[in-house]
A = this chain, B = another copy of it.
Amino acid sequence: MARRPEPGPGTYAAAGVDRVPVARALAALLAGVRYRAPPASGRRRGEAGHYAGLLRIGRETLALTTDTVGTKSLLAQELGRWEEVGEDLVAVNVNDLAAVGARPAGFVDSLSLARPDPRQLAALGRGMDRGLRAARAHLLGGETAIVPEIVRGPDLGGTALGFFPAGRRPVTGDRLRAGDLLLGLAASGLHANGLTLARRIVRDRGIALNRPRPGATESIGREMLRPTRIYVAATEAVADDPGVTGFAHISGGGVRNLVRLNPSVGFDLDAVGPVPPLCAFLQEAGGVPLREMYQTFNMGIGFVVAVRPGAADRVRTRLGRVGYPDARPIGRVRAGRGVRIPPLGLSYLGYA
C-alpha cells in the first residue's frame, strides 16, 4: 500500500511515469480528507505511509492494506497466462501485512476487466488460491466488474486484513537503532514492480518475450512473470522475537523502501550481492543507470529483516527452518538518514 506510482526519474518518466506531478496530485487527495473518526469507530495507531494502516478495535489491533499488481497484468495478457498474477495479487498485499508483523486473516479481490473470460478467471482463481495458501488467509469476498469503457487491460487489485496474535506487537521500525543488522531475503524475480520499465525495454529493443535471454532456459516473458515470493512464513516465525526491530517489503521504490521503516535513521547496504541476471540483462538492454535500477527493481532482495546484532544468528536459524535459508546480512542501520549502497556509490534520501 502506498500513495505513489512505481517511482523513478529520467528513464522511468520516459516510460510514462513522472514522479513530481504524481506527488503533487497525491498531496491534493490527502489534503481533502480532513476527517478524524471518533474512538467509538476504533482507534488509529501509528503513521500513515507505513506498509499497512493500523486500527485498534476492542482488544484487537488490525492491519489493512491495499495494492494492485500494476502493469504486470499487461505482461500476463501478452503471454495469456494468469496464474502468476493471481498469486501476485495476494502476495503484494500479504507481504505489506508481513512488513508490519501482522498475520494475514482475510483477503478481498477487486478485478476490473474488459471482458468476462472464464479461462482467464479460472487461472486467476488458481493463482489466488496459491497465494492464500502460502499466506494462510481466508478469501472473504470480492468484486468483479466488466467495464470495457473504463479499462483497456485488467486492473487487478486486492485488500488484505491482518491481526496480531496474542502478545505480538506491530513491528513498525520505531525501535531501530544504529548497529542493527539488516538481513536480506531473496526475491523470486521482479515480483510486481518495475514492470512498466521492464516491458518498455523489451518492446523498444525488439526482444522476443517467448525466447530466453542469453544464459537462461526459461523464456524472458515467463521469467519476468514469475510470481512474487511470499514472506509471511518468515515474519510469522520471527515477529515475536524481541531482537527483531523492523521489516521492509522491497516493492515499488526498491531499496528506498527501507526509509519507510524509520526516517530518522540511515541504512548502509554493504553487501547487496550480485545483480540478478534478469536485472543485469534489462539494465544492459535498456541502458538504465544503476541508480535507477536500485530504486525501481528489488535487485534480488524482496524483503528485509532488521535485527539486533546479538539476535542475528537465532533469527537466521529460525528463518532457515521455515523456508528462508537464503536470509543473509546485507547491511546495517547507521546514524543519519536515507539509504546508501557504498560499494556502488549510491545514496537515496527519501522514499517517495
Contacts and interface: CB of A to CB of B under 8 A. Distances in A.
A178 interface: no
A157 B1 CA distance: 14
Copies of this chain, complex-wide, total 2
Given A37-B137, A155-B155, A29 B60 contact: no
Nearest to A196: B149
Given A3-B144, A55-B105, A29 B125 contact: yes
A271 interface: no
A26 B121 contact: yes
B139 A108 contact: no
Contacts of A42: 105-106, 138, 163
A62 interface: yes
B144 A4 contact: yes
Contacts of A67: 110, 143
B5 A144 contact: yes
A76 to B, nearest CB: 12
Interface of A: 1-5, 16-17, 21-22, 24-38, 40-42, 44, 48, 52-55, 57-60, 62, 64-68, 70-71, 73-74, 86, 103-106, 108-112, 116-129, 132-133, 136-155, 157, 159, 161, 163, 165-166, 196
